[in-house]
Amino acid sequence: MRLQVETKLCELGSLEPAQFPLTQREVVRRGKTCAIYFCLHGPRSVKLTAIADLKSRSTVFYGSDGVRRETIRWDQLR
């Protein structure tokens, strides 16, 4: 999943894959992991993010301006 998220974030930001660091963190609610937060750290402090929701089995992608760009269900990921 991490590689697919990185590829999609790079597409959104018109960046080359595997050229910038991608961090991830668990999102915890009531002591249980409910999502995974991804952040692609691009050039000039550009940050593209995604949240993988474990309950709905979908990932929401956000542009560098923080606006929601796309939601993809996991069964639709390549």
> Are 22 and 37 a contacting pair, CB within 8 Å?
no
Please tell me the number of Cα atoms within 13 Å of 62 on its side-chain side: 16
**pLDDT confidence tier of residue 74, bands split at 50, 70 and 90:** confident
Query: Could you report the per-residue pLDDT of 31-71, keeping only the tens digit for each?
Result: 999 999 999 999 988 999 999 999 999 999 999 999 999 99
Q: What DSSP designation does 19 have?
A: S
SS3 label, residue 3: helix
